[in-house]
Structure 1
Amino acid sequence: MELRQLRYFVRIVELGSLSRAAADLFIAQPALSQQVAGLEAELNVRLLSRSVRGVSATEAGQVLYRHAQSVLRLIDRLKADVTSANSDPSGVVSIGMPTSVANVLATPLIATAQIRFPGIRLQVIEGLSGHLRDLLVNGRLEMSLLFDVSEIAGSGVTVQKQVSHLHVKPLLIEELFLLSAGKKRFGAAIPLAKASTHRFVLPASSNATRQIVNRAFEAAGLSLDVIAELDSLPTIKSVVASGLASAILSASALSGSTHHDGVTAHRILGVNLTRSVSLCTYDIVALSTAASCLSQLVVEVSESLVKSKVWIGAELDQRVVTRGA
């Protein structure tokens, strides 16, 4: 098995097409197919499933894809670490952030990284927590901030194996607020029973935060009137600002403190509505020097934002979780 074959295979899976991968890699398609056939023969397993829509990895192919990503990333890190052994850490470090977390953390993290580690270039990927987890275990991210790791939706043996390889560093606990249309950024607290009279737009039922909200209302014997399920934070805020419905999210979902977007946050009384935020890495491959420096910086900056009350509605998570979910 050659590194070249692994690079070819990873690109095929990412593009979902042999022809597109061949064009991207500047190699003839028959030659690319031959490389895949060589891998399948060596491993004695089918790696790709072909259809009119293109190609996709089989279950065995998904396993190879994840490990190939780790191997290739390790090679890249090896080069970076060796060349920067006698200098400051450098290179590209990819980190995932749910949008609400990025609202608070991205700017101060980038600013601090530029001062401490000017040789590191951050690649910040925003998305839903579950999607970021998938990018992490597939080798597309080196680390990611994730919500309630144990609640990230997934089914099947493969997902459970992926989650078991997560290295989890609990950072903080965020309170969830009722968000409604209003002229103030923060309004009067509201009892859970009164909150249940609102109509809501919420993330899909598979979303970790949505599951927390569902359980809280069910435990209180209250129902949720959900008129729409939305996975876009800006769209949720737009709908809330219009007065059409309310939402239940963290205060970090609101935009910067210098700008009011027509959404008011209300503390919800009579219930403990919180979610955890953890820094997660996939422990099959060790972090590069640059990534290790950045992971420590994420912890430092997050703690500073909580202690200075910039991260509103958050408190430090004192739990010790080292592995798994």
Structure 2
Amino acid sequence: MNPNNFRLFLEVAELGSFTKVAAQRQTVQSHISRQISELEAACGGALFRRTGRGVVLTDLGQHIETRVRNWVRDTDQLLAAIRTDAGEPMGEVKLGILPSAAHPLMTRLYQRLKADFPKIKLNIREGQGGELDALLDTGSVDMAILFRYQKPASPDEHLLATVGTYLVSRVGDALTRHETVDFNKLEGLRLVLPRRPAHWRSVLDETARGKGFTLQAEVEADSLRVQKELVAHTDHLYSLLGPFSIADELRSGRLQAARIVNPDCRRHVTLSLPKQGQLTAASKIVARLLRDTVEGWGNQLSQLE
């Protein structure tokens, strides 16, 4: 049954006259009478009794009036809520991220969404560069934060930050005591490196070959935590990591690091969007908040203290 028919029923019950309702609705009395007759037929009985002064509710009409009034009120509230929701961004946004972007960037993103766009939900998946590219290409994620080794020029990629690479060691190591270390010093070092065929591993291997030596992988591991824990607990074992992935350990004094130079092996952190298909309103908001947050942090993936 149409709620509008019962709105008319309630209006007639309150005014007690088809004529008054017709005048209020700027229509003819016969139109109101016909609609009420159709409603009575649908309900299976008369809802109004005609009198010389207008109409009054029958026993059936009185029986359903309160229930109908509550139903119409609830329906109006539901429609109002739907209209409100129609203007409010909502939905799930699937986001692929590098491990180093997990915190505090994702924490801040969640907090901003919860405060301003509570109906947008995050679905966060962590992975390495090639894996994130594949997830983006297959539509498994709506966008991804990943490393590029050249500054992005495509409109589908937005530069978030540019970072160097650090030789990371246990605290007290002589090689990482200074601010920088030459890439040539990596020759002969025992290293914890990402597993092949990671793109970053290929870049490091090719850079070393260009210098005339081969990097010595003591351990291969994709997990940042594994890399950092091995280095933190082993003398003369090193890893090659970005600044955001070791920021907490450097502040707490658990690790020591020197920036690699000659070359500096710079990487570009980008927000990559699908090459095909339209972004949802929710995805556009998440992308904007990510860019605004990183820019507000001075184009860093963490807030400088």
Structure 1 and Structure 2 fold alike (TM over 0.5):
yes
CA distance in 2, matches of 1:286, 1:301: 23
1:167 aligns with 2:156: yes
CA distance in 1, matches of 2:129, 2:301: 24
- The aligned residue for residue 132 of structure 1 is 132
**TM-score normalised to structure 1 length:** 0.59
CA distance in 2, matches of 1:258, 1:268: 16
1:191 aligns with 2:192: no
**TM-score normalised to structure 2 length:** 0.63
- The aligned residue for residue 269 of structure 1 is 261
Distance 1:83 1:288, change over 3 A: farther
Distance 1:277 1:83, change over 3 A: farther
Of 191-200 and 254-263, deviating more is 254-263
Of 269-278 and 286-295, deviating more is 269-278
Q: Which runs of 5+ in 2 are unaligned?
A: 1-81
Distance 1:106 1:187, change over 3 A: farther
Deviation at 1:235, TM superposition (A): 0.9
1:229 aligns with 2:220: yes
Counterpart secondary structure, 1:118 = coil
Across the aligned residues of Structure 1 and Structure 2, the Cα RMSD in angstroms comes to: 3.1
- The aligned residue for residue 270 of structure 2 is 278
1:177 aligns with 2:169: no
Query: In the TM superposition, what are the counterparts of 1:143-158 in structure 2 within 5 Å?
Result: 143-148=143-148
- The aligned residue for residue 118 of structure 1 is 118
Counterpart secondary structure, 1:267 = strand
Among residues 203, 211, 215, which one is paired with 2:194 in the alignment?
203
Distance 1:91 1:250, change over 3 A: same
CA distance in 2, matches of 1:186, 1:86: 57
Paired positions, count: 218
Q: What per-residue deviation string (whole Å, max 9, x for no partner) do you get for residues 192-251 of structure 1? A: 222324210111232122222223222222331111211111111111112262111101
Distance 1:110 1:237, change over 3 A: same
Counterpart secondary structure, 2:206 = helix
CA distance in 1, matches of 2:164, 2:184: 18
Q: What per-residue deviation string (whole Å, max 9, x for no partner) do you get for residues 285-320 of structure 1? A: 2111001111111111122223579467xxxxxxxx
Distance 1:255 1:112, change over 3 A: same
- The aligned residue for residue 253 of structure 1 is 245
| 8 Å Cα contact 2:105/2:302 also seen in 1 | no
CA distance in 1, matches of 2:293, 2:177: 25
Amino acid at match of 2:193: L
Q: Which runs of 5+ in 1 are unaligned?
A: 1-81, 152-164, 313-325
1:212 aligns with 2:206: no
